[in-house]
Structure 1
Amino acid sequence: MGLVLLVPATMLQASVAAAEPGQVADGGNALAAGAGMTMVTFNLHHDRENWPERRKTILAELQRLQPDAIALQEVIQKRNVRNQAEWLATQLGYSYLFVSTDPLGVTKRYGNALLTRRPVVARNQHLLQPLRDYRTVGHLRIDVDGRPVNVYATHLNERSDDAGKRTRRIQVEDLLRFVSATSGGEPVVIAGDFNALVDAGDLSELRSRYGDSYGSVHVNNDLDSVSTLNSHYYQAPSRIDHIFFQQDAMVAREARLLFDTPDEGGRWASDHYGVWTRLQFAPAPGAMPR
């Protein structure tokens, strides 16, 4: 069993000034339907294909939805490109955590991020085994109306061959060790680009512990035809971007794709679609139904 490496919070590049959340727009939290939270996962495609224009579409949709937490992959900062997570968080009035294997202080850094409009109770980051693959996971424990929830963001190995499957299996094992070490017994949500179908063998240990929010909501649909890879860029449908949740603590009530149509000028937000889900807190054991 590998060693779980926790990086001190002082080493994290994170914004700490989050604005008070405003009123949730239609199609957002819908907390009236039951206490819970909403979350988005989205692969930004870093700064390719005119990021200054793409980010307008991304920001507008996130402003409309006002999700409680956002997991981002392929986040970049470099000369003349402000950290994409920082920019979005600033525009939204959210706190953010950016996690990268690139050292602090270098011009170019690349990684994953978590954004939230909720108070942050704890934060951690971890470099996933095997270290040679340069993969990370970020963690925030947030306060959702007085209830702590752990949210995690990651991006696993992209190769589709046997070596890629073995690597993802090692990454999943390490991810789960990190979750166990940092969740403190509170509800867990894990989101990101897993580069694998939800029923793939390399994700089996993860799926044995956590539910697939999109699949839980659309259980009677033909999920084989659903893709989070943008069909403008990829021919074969492949649902590889997921939001997993702790099934004994939460219930998936809604889930849908985001950014699955181009803007008025025909520009796509990314080469991936995003995933949005609404999770409701499960009633405590023995609680009377309302």
Structure 2
Amino acid sequence: MRAIRTRIVAALVLRSAIAALLFAMLLAGCHRGTRADAPLTVVTLNLWHDKQDWPHRQDLIVAGLQAQSPDVILLQEVLQDAGLPNQAATLAERLGYRYRFFSVDPPDRARRYGNAILTRAEPLATHEIKLAPLDDYRNAGHVLADIGGRRISIYVTHLHHTAEGGAIRARQVEDLLAFVAATRGDAPVLIGGDFNTRADAPELKPLADAFVDAYATAHPGEDVDAPERSTLNTHAGHAPLRIDHVFFPRDAFRIDDARIILDRADANGAWPSDHYGVRVRLLPR
């Protein structure tokens, strides 16, 4: 009788082990499929450094980004100073991201200004470059990150700001593309930030020839540079212009959606920034 019970128990244990193995394999297969098809969501936002009520604006930005839950956040006009912790570090801590900050200011200086990239996972590699002319204090930053099991080379920049500065921006785009070529490796590329001009501006043509303007691709046949598509906050006194962009390679991704976000004031009339954010959702090819 004891031998029969032993055989029954062994059979039940074996059956449970097989069921557990099959269930694990099913979950793994579903997980792989989900990861392969999962969208990649990117947000770019100019923070407006510490203008107006930064602590309150910070709360608005955090709430807006939490609602979007992006895989990648690109920030411009990031500031740190005596008494002001690095804004990218603060946002990363509150949102649960890792961050890399890029500045032309020396690391030992109290006041530093620049751009940042936030990702959920610790970056695998990072680089930065100063953009010419050096007295324009512009740079570009790079992070190689694993997102959903796929390595992505992510770039952020903020180009020269004057309307008559097209030639300066053209030189900066040349530097940016050389930087991308030198650091991207074999990973697909995302480039975003505040370009201070339309995506179809002549000075951005070398960039637009190699990469795709995500927002325009998501809205074919529409006037994507109409005043109502401005990424500059006209309520803060700006003329309506779409100058904040995300570019991607057509052979690596296809567009799923792109929209302007953080474009509403709160009940007291406070705005998250003097720019609106741009959220892009891409699907892998």
Q: TM (normalized to structure 2)?
A: 0.85
Cα offset, 1:222, TM superposition? 2.1
- Structure 1 runs not aligned, ≥5 long: 1-30, 283-290
CA distance in 1, matches of 2:192, 2:80: 21
Counterpart residue type for residue 253 of structure 2? M
Question: Do residues 177 (structure 1) and 154 (structure 2) align?
Answer: no
1:68 maps to what in 2?
71
1:104 maps to what in 2?
107
**Contact 1:36–1:144 (8 Å) recurs in 2:** no
Counterpart residue type for residue 272 of structure 2? A
Equivalent of residue 228 in structure 1, options 223, 226, 231: 231
CA distance in 1, matches of 2:152, 2:106: 29
**Contact 2:35–2:149 (8 Å) recurs in 1:** no
Question: Do residues 244 (structure 1) and 247 (structure 2) align?
Answer: yes
CA distance in 1, matches of 2:173, 2:280: 22
Cα offset, 1:33, TM superposition? 10
Largest Rg, 1 or 2: 2
Farther-moved stretch of structure 1 (140-149 vs 37-46): 140-149
Counterpart residue type for residue 246 of structure 1? P
CA distance in 2, matches of 1:108, 1:269: 22
Counterpart residue type for residue 206 of structure 1? L
After superposition, where does 1:89-168 map in structure 2 within 5 Å? 89-161=92-164, 164-168=165-169
Farther-moved stretch of structure 1 (125-134 vs 171-180): 125-134
Cα offset, 1:92, TM superposition? 1.1
How many residue pairs get aligned? The number is: 250
Equivalent of residue 258 in structure 2, options 255, 269, 277: 255
1:16 maps to what in 2?
none
Cα offset, 1:265, TM superposition? 1.2
Cα offset, 1:233, TM superposition? 2.1
2:217 maps to what in 1?
216
**Greater helix share, structure number:** 2
2:207 maps to what in 1?
206
Alignment deviations for residues 83-113 of structure 1 (CA, whole Å, 9 cap, x no partner): 1000001111111000111111211110000
Counterpart residue type for residue 210 of structure 1? F
- Structure 2 runs not aligned, ≥5 long: 1-33
Cα offset, 1:144, TM superposition? 1.5
**Contact 2:126–2:144 (8 Å) recurs in 1:** yes
Alignment deviations for residues 47-101 of structure 1 (CA, whole Å, 9 cap, x no partner): 0011000000100111222211111000001121111000001111111000111
Q: Quick one: percent identity of the two aligned structures?
A: 48
Cα offset, 1:190, TM superposition? 0.2
Alignment deviations for residues 113-145 of structure 1 (CA, whole Å, 9 cap, x no partner): 001113422111111122121111111111122
2:43 maps to what in 1?
40
1:21 maps to what in 2?
none
Q: TM (normalized to structure 1)?
A: 0.83
CA distance in 1, matches of 2:238, 2:54: 23
CA distance in 1, matches of 2:125, 2:238: 41
2:59 maps to what in 1?
56
